[in-house]
Amino acid sequence: MNKAKRAAVIAGNWKMNKTPAETTALINDLKPLVADAACGVICCVPFTDIPAAVDAAKGSNIKIGAQNCHWAESGAFTGEIAASWLKELGVEYCVLGHSERRQYFGETDETVNSRTKAALAAGLKPIICVGELKEERLADKTHEVLDVQVKGAFADIAAAELANIIIAYEPVWAIGTGLTATDDQADEACGYIRSLIAGLYGQDAADAMTIQYGGSMNAGNAEALLAKENVDGGLIGGASLSAEKFQPIVAAASK
Ligand code: PEP
């Protein structure tokens, strides 16, 4: 982290976990534990948990995010949710392009870009996920993959919007597997993403961009990962599902 240059943010991605009642309980457990956090704290919850999460988080420093949004305002898109409706419910952030959506739901760099534009237009702050597969890392193609994903996601996004966007570097081989990128691997990849943003928007914009690491981050490895210059926080899956596991990560980012 380099807090002199940019915000540190810890975001939980709850994936498809927690009922509305469980959401209220978890946010209520978390609130006192992170009240003094010196970093951003976000919980990205399932759509159906949003009212409970927004209500429970009211008056606290916890911000609520969604895990996807559609690019259209309304229409014949059965099962989809418009960005403006999330905003109306009190959502502030939206995870986009998570590898699980790319893997199971046909998400592409083009649709990530469309969703990003819709989220920004609605006043949501996108958390854009990028990252390579294991075979791509082994074939030394990590930079190539990040290049395509970052340039795809940011196509036609104005520089003025950058302050409202977070990037999450999530090597797919480290998500939910217990395998973590080494501190140096995370730093190198986040630094490479920063260099891509510098190429697109200039060094000042790149220096100000929050770039998280995600992939089996937990209480045991967070501090070392977050000590790296280019790792500005974390997108946390499994360890965001209990207040006891999430809090130490927030504490590590608060140092
Ligand atoms: C994620 O879902 O974005 C993630 C990083 O999951 P986990 O922390 O469980 O690897």
Question: pLDDT tens digits for 127-153?
Answer: 999 999 999 999 999 999 999 999 999
- Going from the Cα of 237 to the center of ligand 1, the distance in angstroms, rounded, reads 3
Residue 177 has pLDDT above 90, yes or no: no
Name the residue among 169, 141, 139, 140 with its Cα closest to residue 153. 169
Residue 255 in tokens: 């140092």
CA of 57 to the centre of ligand 1 (A): 22
Which ligand 1 atom lies nearest to the CA of residue 170?
5
> Can you tell me the mean pLDDT for 21-44?
98
- Exposure of 138 by Cβ count < 10 A (0-12 exposed, 13-18 middle, 19+ buried)? exposed
Does ligand 1 lie within 6 Å of residue 171's CB atom? Answer: no
Distance 104 CA to ligand 1 centre (A): 15
pLDDT exceeds cutoff 90 at 176: no
Note if 70 is an active site residue. Answer: no
What CA–CA distance (Å, rounded) separates 73 from 158? 20
How confident is the model at residue 178, as a pLDDT?
83
Q: Answer positive or negative: Cα dihedral of 98, 100, 106, 109.
A: positive
Residue with CA at minimum distance from ligand 1 atom 6: 237
For position 9, what pLDDT does the model report? 98
Q: Is residue 85 exposed (0-12), middle (13-18) or buried (19+ Cβ within 10 Å)?
A: middle
Please give the pLDDT value at position 65. 98
pLDDT in tens, 200-222: 999 999 999 999 999 999 999 99
Q: Would the pLDDT of 179 be above 90?
A: no
- Regarding the beta carbon of 236 and ligand 1, being less than 6 Å apart is answered yes
The pLDDT value recorded for residue 180 is: 84
Average of per-residue pLDDT across 97-120: 98
Residue % of the chain over a pLDDT of 90: 95
DSSP string over 150-163: HHHHTTT--GGGGG
The mean pLDDT of the chain is 97
Per-residue pLDDT at 199 exceeds 90 = yes
Ligand 1 atom closest to Cα of residue 178: 10
Closest atom, ligand 1, to C-alpha of 99? 3
Q: Verify whether ligand 1 is closer than 6 Å to residue 225 (CB atom).
A: no
pLDDT > 70 fraction of the chain, expressed in percent and rounded: 100
pLDDT at residue 4, rounded to an integer: 86
Q: Is 179 touching ligand 1 by the criterion CB < 6 Å?
A: no
Question: Residues 48-65: pLDDT tens digits?
Answer: 999 999 999 999 999 999
Ligand 1 and 170: CB distance under 6 A: yes
pLDDT at 239 over 90: yes
- Judge whether 170 counts as a catalytic residue: yes
